[in-house]
Structure 1
């Protein structure tokens, strides 16, 4: 089927907007390839260091230039349940590479923090910046320039975007991402949310709360709700850089092991030493980025990716904007209901049809691009599911129909005609809302503001019994420059409980929400943030705020003359300098705004004069004002 005209128009607009930066990026890939296979230009001393610690048979292969050397970037640690299975992957990958006539080495490890542990804690102020540290650590590992391809072992929130950004800095290398899969289903997520809300109301004990949390997060593998980690996996498949259907196969199963092995085999077939060279930087083009956003909208994925995928696109020389995402969301139907957008978890989503079903529906409707991927056959291969037959891995056509229409549906009968996110505009700036997680009756709230500069203060106001019946919580100075843009998931139980009582509540913040957050109407990522002089810093207690998700508006209903004359309130929360936060002062001072990816590092190719690219001008194209890339000083890179 031909491509939907709006998807085609958005893709073309991105292509035109990105022409200069994308050309510069691709030129960099070509430059990296001019000297042939990567190890060829290494001096004897360089090469000796590369294989000094290797076994003798690996040394013999590394001395030459015809056997590919596979770099492994791992985010293993055994505190993250999703990453604990990676502990023994390097030795398995090395053994398989040897059997295939190649070599493999751990090029480097990257940090991997758990947002589930740091929610509501000082460590959450490091979370967003950890993405950029991961990108830099990935680049450090690959900088040894001794690899012909790479595999990336990572799953969770900031880790996959960071790995992608770092991998794209070495876009001349073929790359495959290898997930470890979700843990088996535990206690239903709705049950967990109910106990959290009762605990916030003082109706459940800490022991009861801890027990349901432990029954939910109970074994190796990703958490089973459809948050940022599991959204990462869907977006990787939608871009064609992970094996088809590999996202939601549980750890420790024969199918998981077969998929891991197949990923290593495949990446070794894609090097410049063979005849099927597929560098990552060429595969991830404008079409792949659009596919990722389409998949995000169709499945009701994490709001965090409205920041992360702008940064990922930038790393490939592609300029993606919130306006692009909003226009994609307007024509992509919501095909999945997975918690927090529904009752099911990702295991049930997989059983109901999973990515193979959703992608086939989108491709057949002209809502996704057909494009080259890491597997021959392109995007259509992602409508197939992996199977083991007599111990051999094969792919079979995905389900022809949904096995559970309460979880996934066809394009002809979607849950909603439009996608999971909506861009909000008004005199408070621009923000985003996860429309798919909010019931229609809660999508419009008009109420007085309760303004705080830290989420903990809202809980104290509730405990004191001074919150109005209906209100909009305005939590400001939570943006990237203020304190690293922590997730404010700790507010969800309180606001959810109040909404259950029939009260009209909403959240407006320049901070983030967890990918697991839903139910409450929340205008998040408000840009400009308060710390950059954004209008959210002018809101006062009692101001009436109107949040209308259906109309796409976010406004404070204050007389224009008074509003223009009003000054900005200072941040009343002292800056944190303990628990490592002092080490990220430079990041806070130099980070860009949320709608530009909240990058604290230079990302993507430099402009012709050598400075970073950034949005600092607007132009009219297709009737909409959009940002355009222009060089500027490194301070706001």
Structure 2
């Protein structure tokens, strides 16, 4: 093992010892009376089976040696990634009947799309939806009828929310079931060029719409490497998917075979099967470290600097940004997938995908191999890939080398010797940046500040021709407590145009950028956030700021005495009303700092004794 990986793992174990021990004790206590439906009063049990549409299911549930699997799904037919889940429950139920088990659709969770809500009021509910999904998962599993669970979800907040909820029922064996990406559309480079031309007024809305609809064109996950597809890599490398299943396209025979196998596999992990392996024994400190290595090796979504700490805490594990950055410093960048490259996730999968990535990272000593997974002990099990042999699911060794080194490389010949995730710190606070898609000549920007209170203000200034110069955009009051921490993805085309025109530009914000943020240097998730009196509230137009992705500086070059005496600007009047945002005010008040996952549950979980 690489000494840095061991060092981070050991300090994570030590730091987490009290909370992890409490968590495991809670899970052991909850598991001590399995299966729980055996202890339900007769009327309660009758309610729990009354809806069974298949006579054999009702009879089997009376037998405590039969397995009842909860299905928790993020299905809706507006989101392309989740539309295929319409058909999964029946496939799962039939697969379970074939092996003498039962599946019950325990509950649905909401699934909103950041792509639809970008720049709209609904985006202010996006991060909060993760907490709602976690609570919905808990409601679904609260009936104490289940011996195992299947989690059906893919996109940005859905998988982290399912994880948080499922981990509070971590005594249940649990498998995450992906749906797969849509087939490739137009080339990503072409899509990006049309977006940029539209931002400059050189392409019509009709041209932009045609381009976007050719890119996002069918059921399945969007094919760029944003938060949704980073979720898939993280779940697979943590051993929570079946091997090689993350990027198999929907509505294919192989996808259906993998879905059926996931249902059968979760029954093998139950107490009834004699090989009891609950979720809490898979998600441990080593698995969390592996997830961070995967994030860094692929140049994954910066949103995971919120999500991985949040779901780690749900398992009693106290992951920090410094842990993540220290792992990034020794993890080579192995993948170039849009926006970090021209390829999409289908090309990544064809080049060797997650299996090859695991192989080369294991060879480099950067992953823990001695971990539990949903198919048994040892991460080497994930070097295999699925295929169909005479119509039946089979497994074979994955490719020992990349089939396209322009997309996926071995650890010995990386695109970069590091993962590109950095912690930035200084008198402006603490934040993170991802430099994997930022050209070396753009990684350090020192320029006057231009302050905005939302992304619409910046867009208006761009269109008015006010930004044709070097500057650092400070977009503040965008943190979790201020307005729910919406993504600021709409800034990307404007700042990208200015950078291409030769201006030195950067972004500093207490908000989020998209999981697909790219070539413009950005200090994001800055905390303390401005609404809490964080330093960004002190910045004035014209202050000289420095964003240094090399040394990690995030500073305002203002005289220390003046800076200390300067008062914070008050937050804009609360506009969190309309589009249902008022229903989330209590949650915004409860959000922790970005470094603790921007979670409404942090304080409650830390208070558990």
Task: Name the TM-score class by shorter chain.
Answer: over 0.9
Q: How far does residue 576 in structure 1 lie from its aligned partner after superposition?
A: 2.4
SS of 1:368 mapped into structure 2: coil
Q: Which residue of 2 aligns with 1:501?
A: 501
In the alignment, the residues of structure 2 paired with residue 604 and residue 93 of structure 1 have an alpha-carbon distance, to the nearest angstrom, of 35
Cα distance in 2 for partners of 1:568, 1:446 equals 22
Confirm or deny that 1:392 pairs with 2:392.
yes
Question: 1:90 maps to what in 2?
Answer: 89
- Give 1:468 shift: 4.7
TM normalised by structure 2 equals 0.98
CA distance in 1, matches of 2:607, 2:469: 53
Residues 314 and 603 of structure 1 are in contact (CA less than 8 Å); yes or no, is this contact kept in structure 2?
A: no
**What's 1:444 paired with?**
444
- Root-mean-square deviation (CA, aligned residues, Å) is 1.1
2:344 corresponds to: 345
Which residue in the other structure is 2:206 paired with? 207
Cα deviation 1:146-181 (Å, max 9, x = unaligned) = 000000110000000000000000000000000010
The structural deviation recorded for 1:605 is 5.0
Equivalent residues in 2 for 1:203-282, closer than 5 Å: 203-282=202-281
Indicate the residue corresponding to 2:597 in structure 1.
597
Q: What's the secondary structure of 1:449's corresponding residue?
A: strand
- Quick one: structure 1 residues 490 and 606, their matched pair in 2 at CA, closer, same or farther if it must change by over 3 Å? closer
Structure 1: 5+ residue stretches without partners: 611-637
Instruction: Map Cα deviations across residues 224-282 of structure 1 (whole Å, 9 max, x no partner).
Output: 00000000000001110111110000001111111111111100111111211110011
In structure 1, the partner of 2:130 is: 131
- Name whichever of 457-466 and 497-506 sits farther off: 457-466
Give 1:607 shift: 4.2
| Residue number in structure 1 paired with 2:192 | 193
SS in 2 for 1:547: strand
Corresponding residue for residue 428 of structure 1: 428
Corresponding residue SS for 2:39: coil
More displaced, 453-462 or 320-329?
453-462
Give, in angstroms, the shift of residue 420 of structure 1: 3.0
Please state how far the C-alpha of 1:59 moved relative to its aligned partner: 1.1
Q: Is the 8 A contact 2:468 2:503 kept in 1?
A: no
Change (3 A) 1:436 1:167: same
Q: 1:160 and 1:582, CA in 2 relative to 1: closer, same or farther beyond 3 A?
A: same
Contact 2:329 2:420 in 1 (8 A): no
1:145 alignment counterpart: 144
Following superposition, the deviation at residue 606 of structure 1 comes to 5.5
State the Cα distance separating 1:603 from its structure 2 match. 7.3
Query: Hey, what's the Cα distance between the residues in 2 that align with 1:222 and 1:308?
Result: 19
Corresponding residue number in structure 1 for 2:35: 37
Structure 1 171/250 Cα, relative in aligned 2: closer, same or farther at 3 Å? Answer: same
Per the TM alignment, residue 382 of structure 1 is displaced from its structure 2 partner at its CA by 1.1
1:25–1:604 Cα contact (<8 Å) kept: no
Match of 1:18, SS state, is: helix
User: Take 2:491 and 2:75, find their aligned partners in 1: how far apart are those partners?
Assistant: 30
Give the aligned partner of residue 58 of structure 1: 57
SS of 1:134 mapped into structure 2: helix
Residues 456-495 of structure 1 mapped to structure 2, 5 A cutoff: 456-495=456-495
How many residues end up aligned between the 2 structures? 607
CA–CA distance in structure 1, aligned partners of residues 597 and 520 of structure 2:
24
Alpha-carbon offset, residue 36 of structure 1? 2.6
Write the mapping of 1:98-113 to structure 2, written as runs, cut at 5 A: 98-113=97-112
* Residue 604 (structure 1) shift: 7.6
Q: SS of the residue aligned with 1:161?
A: helix
| Other-structure match for 1:330 | 329
Distance in 2 (alpha carbons) for counterparts of 1:373 and 1:448: 50
Match of 2:529 in 1: 529
For residues 476 and 8 of structure 1, do their structure 2 counterparts lie closer, same or farther at Cα, with a shift above 3 Å needed? same
Using structure 1 for the length normalisation, give the TM-score: 0.94
Give the structure 2 partner of residue 7 of structure 1: 5
The answer to whether the Cα contact below 8 Å between 1:240 and 1:378 also exists between their aligned partners in 2 is no
